[in-house]
Structure 1
Amino acid sequence: MGCDVRVSGLLRRNLQPTLTYWSVFFSFGLCIAFLGPTLLDLRCQTRSSLPEISWVFFSQQFCLLLGSALGGVFKRTLAQSLWALFTSSLAISLVFATIPFCRDVEVLASVMALAGLAMGCIDTVANMQLVRIYQKDSAVFLQVLHFFVGFGALLSPLIADPFLSEANCLPANSTANATSVFHASRVLGRQHPEAQPRSNRTLPGLPSQDGAGTRVSYAFWIMALINLPVPLAVLHLLSKERLLACCPQRRPLLLSADELTLETQPPEKEDASSLSPKFHPGHEDLFSCCQRKNFRGVPSSFFAIHITAALVLFMTDGLTGAYSAFVYSYAVEKPLSVGHKVAGYLPSLFWGFITLGRLISIPVSSRVKPVTMVFINVVGVVATYLVLLVFSHNVVFLFVGTASLGLSLSSTFPSMLAYTEDVLQYRGCATTVLVTGAGIGEMVLQMLVGSIFQAQGSYSFLVCGVIFGGLAFTFYILLLFFHRMHPGLSSGPTRDKALGMESLESYQR
């Protein structure tokens, strides 16, 4: 009961920044899922072949990873963090508005690279700021944060769907398997000539369909308008915090009676432990983390926890990207041979249950420890892939398994982030390392699973899932082992604020 009162008090004090950080993750989700359903129209718009258009995916994923690594640079002050979020969310709206004018694939890849940088910055900064505000109580707020990713990812294909062209810009003599080859090749960035229809190799010479390009343009402009309130919300927060040049610095407001009671309440015993000076306060960017001075005197378990937690997310986020990218291709291949229209519902079903799982995790995370939630998630991933492997000829189990896998993967990242930050007592580089590890996994496993899928056939898709899911469980067990080895950080007196009561007022303006 006392915990609920404390958390509600924290939320009341930080309501506007919390809502703002949640909204910028809606921008992240809106931008991460629109390429899939609109890629064929974009291919017609840019008159590009499959290997050429695949660079659009690579540029977005690579720059997302780069943006995640660079995002920690803006953590030093609240002003830097909010200006980074404002610039990134505004850039996403500009990207949506600009895409219809990209008639060349190189220009489109450059625009998507900008979107990737903005998404990576949002990913790191928003996670970092929420953990700073709520610390040991951050689990439930991180679950809501990542729910907004799923909500945005679910919404963008629905916005695009009415504007997609039903006419195919491929000539009439395209082979029947063009759609399957197109989907499998879009992530790989390469094709075997013998598997590619002749029409695809001659696509750059085809006339573009202006009508199709015009219709899908409306979808991008609608998404740009829907996203526009997000940078305005960040700008409003900047104004409220008196961080705009036109606004003078404000004096800290007096606390209400309830908030004063929470502020002066003695901390719980587990939160009164102090931090040794050798552990630097705050969250570092990836490059600052790698400085030698940060490694002096820290135990080996400190590094092991960072590495094993990042490897768990490398596997789980990688599986999320790979399954979303290739479940359609797996379904239309033998032995299932699902119809193309029916198979098209599988990615939407997957993202829908990811969103549902994140919604369910919001109340659950306030009562279940993050370490337990990660265990349930990882075991669910392995069990689901095993069931799909055993019943690989059953279409019903494919749909049920897709929903189950979405639920299992839904809350892995926020739960792992909350657990790791709790173990390290909110010191070190956990947020940046985990975000970077998850980004690398999403990029690498898509390429790896796609290459194996194309070389070995559809059955290898599920085998890869079992293997990578098993590796995620193994790294999770190692993480528990290193947690038990990790010494308590209680070597001297401290003036740290307990229970995450550090507010935005304490950040350097």
Structure 2
Amino acid sequence: MPTMEEQHFEKEQQNSTEEYKAFRGSEKVDTVRPGRYKSDRWRWFVSIALYASALVLGMAISVLGPTLEDLASNVNENISNLSYIFVGRSSGYAGGSLLGGILFDIVNPHMLLGLSLLITSSGMFGTPFCKNTWLLTALMSSVGMSMGVIDTGGNVLILDTWGEQAGPHLQAFHFSFAAGAFVSPIIAKLLFGHKPGKNASTDATTMSENSSSTILPFSHSTRSFPTSMWAYVVIGVFVLLVSLSFFILYFCSSPISSRKKTANGKQVFSKRHNTLIFLLSLFFFFYVGSEVAYGSFIFTYAKDYAGMDQARAAGLNSLFWGTFAVGRGLAIFIAACLSPGILILLCLVGTNVSSLLLLLFSRNEPVLWTCTALLGVSMSTTFPSGISWVEQYTTVTGRSAAVFVVGAALGEMVLPALVGFLLGQVQNQPLLMYLAFGTSVFTSVLFPVMYKIISQERVPG
């Protein structure tokens, strides 16, 4: 005769088995968080706000590169002394991703994203008027932290809003980021570039004269900074408007969720949840690190190793990021037809073929152009497809998203720095192509390992 404790234990085991079967497809248990609006129209409102947040996030991140020279003159420093603001921003980004992962599970996501965008907007507005190097670094670090919160929270909110239909929307979210990164240099250099007849040295001289008589770290004279600094003000306005849209969403309705849950309303996690999330973060470490390293050093590689002139090398660099953005745009429609796993496999095949040819024919210009374009398209959809893929097997919470976003951020910091260091140590070797091929092989091995781990799960009982 079983005791009451044994009966209770058996009942818990039976409930767990039924919940697991429901999650794996034996039954369908869909519950929605209580909210005033549960229609597709409301979900589209949330999605459009998220796309806009990704757009301004891409703009805010990429504007630093084309304006770095003017930013250096604005604080009376040379570019080499100012380069550590990238480290400050990246460190803040990683910290913000972790913080956002924790807060996203306990704070209203609309309010959290609205506040983060408001901080980003303040940082954009303050950057042109900042005259102190250390204060500028601190400002960039705070902006990076808010960006990390937006990146982590945006991915999870897309999953929360659309559930099993999130694939195309994740692709659209990341395409918006790429579009913003493409538009930002145009705003900085074409719209607010130096006026004809006026050069950077004139701006720098004016800046030096004005800053010598300035005690405060901020100056409010609109004549004291280069015209490209107005790009920060314009982007700040865009970010502010997007932040207001999230505050409107917060006051109009509580968030909704289309994710599968158990019968008792709890989210269901794979038994190998932690292992999956860790391996995915490792996967993103090498994938994002390779992507950023290739995009950062292909100009130098083409000019110094392949013997291209500056114009053609710059064109090759633009081709990579252009095909990258186009690939993300096409993936919005492709993701509606193909599963995330198939998309990842296609991307891995593309990266392996293109990186191998780039390594074998490292100085062949036609191969460089063709395979760089193929590599850009192949890399474009890997990140959002990876998130969609893992969501099929376990629940991606804010903490989970923070882990793989931090993994991606660390890869973005470590692998390009490694390539830069080795370029000064090893001469006349296609180091960039070694990295591209090595990371593509590693990720191609790691993905089947993750699939094997999750496929070993069986419905208990």
Q: Establish whether TM, by shorter chain, passes 0.5.
A: yes
Q: How does 1:203-222 map to 2 (within 5 A)?
A: 213-222=225-234
Corresponding position: 1:40 with 2:10: no
Q: Is the 8 A contact 2:100 2:398 kept in 1?
A: no
- Which AA in structure 2 matches 1:95? G
1:128 deviates by 1.0
Equivalence for 1:236: 248
Aligned residues: 405
Distance 1:426-1:72 versus aligned 2 partners, 3 A rule: closer
Q: Which runs of 5+ in 1 are unaligned?
A: 1-8, 171-202, 244-251, 253-262, 264-270, 284-297, 492-509
- Which AA in structure 2 matches 1:112? M
Equivalence for 2:285: 314
Select 1:370's aligned residue among 340, 365, 370: 340
Q: Distance in 1 between matches of 2:40 and 2:120?
A: 28
Select 2:100's aligned residue among 41, 64, 71: 71
1:324 deviates by 2.0
Distance 1:217-1:385 versus aligned 2 partners, 3 A rule: same
Corresponding position: 1:225 with 2:237: yes
Equivalence for 1:87: 115
Residue-by-residue CA offset, 1:204-248 (whole Å, 9 max, x unaligned) = 9x95899894211222222222333211211221232279xxxxx
Distance 1:235-1:486 versus aligned 2 partners, 3 A rule: same
Corresponding position: 1:139 with 2:167: yes
Query: In structure 2, the residue corresponding to 1:456 is in which secondary structure?
Result: coil
Select 1:157's aligned residue among 158, 182, 185: 185
Q: Distance in 1 between matches of 2:108 and 2:157?
A: 11
Q: Distance in 1 between matches of 2:300 and 2:407?
A: 26
Q: Distance in 2 between matches of 1:377 and 1:469?
A: 10
1:155 deviates by 0.7
Distance 1:43-1:343 versus aligned 2 partners, 3 A rule: farther
Q: Is the 8 A contact 1:316 1:472 kept in 2?
A: yes
Select 1:475's aligned residue among 434, 446, 450: 446
Q: How does 1:345-424 map to 2 (within 5 A)?
A: 345-424=315-394
Q: Distance in 1 between matches of 2:193 and 2:260?
A: 57
Distance 1:21-1:81 versus aligned 2 partners, 3 A rule: same
CA RMSD of aligned residues (A): 3.2
Residue-by-residue CA offset, 1:223-281 (whole Å, 9 max, x unaligned) = 222333211211221232279xxxxxxxx9xxxxxxxxxx9xxxxxxx9895899xx63
Q: Which runs of 5+ in 2 are unaligned?
A: 1-37, 212-222
Distance 1:426-1:65 versus aligned 2 partners, 3 A rule: closer
- Which AA in structure 2 matches 1:343? A
Q: Is the 8 A contact 1:153 1:351 kept in 2?
A: no
Q: Distance in 2 between matches of 1:18 and 1:25?
A: 11
1:320 deviates by 1.8
1:338 deviates by 2.3
Q: Is the 8 A contact 1:302 1:424 kept in 2?
A: yes
1:37 deviates by 1.4
Select 1:126's aligned residue among 135, 154, 160: 154
1:63 deviates by 0.8
Distance 1:241-1:57 versus aligned 2 partners, 3 A rule: same
Select 1:108's aligned residue among 133, 136, 139: 136
Q: Is the 8 A contact 2:96 2:147 kept in 1?
A: yes
- Which AA in structure 1 matches 2:226? T
Residue-by-residue CA offset, 1:128-150 (whole Å, 9 max, x unaligned) = 11111222221111111111111
Q: How does 1:431-470 map to 2 (within 5 A)?
A: 431-457=401-427, 459-470=430-441
TM-score (norm 2): 0.79
Q: Distance in 2 between matches of 1:129 and 1:371?
A: 21
- Which AA in structure 2 matches 1:303? N
Query: In structure 1, the residue corresponding to 2:307 is in which secondary structure?
Result: coil
1:444 deviates by 1.5
Corresponding position: 1:29 with 2:58: yes
Q: Distance in 2 between matches of 1:35 and 1:223?
A: 12
Q: Is the 8 A contact 1:150 1:352 kept in 2?
A: no
Q: Is the 8 A contact 2:55 2:180 kept in 1?
A: yes
Q: Distance in 2 between matches of 1:72 and 1:428?
A: 4
Q: Is the 8 A contact 1:44 1:208 kept in 2?
A: no
- Which AA in structure 2 matches 1:28? L
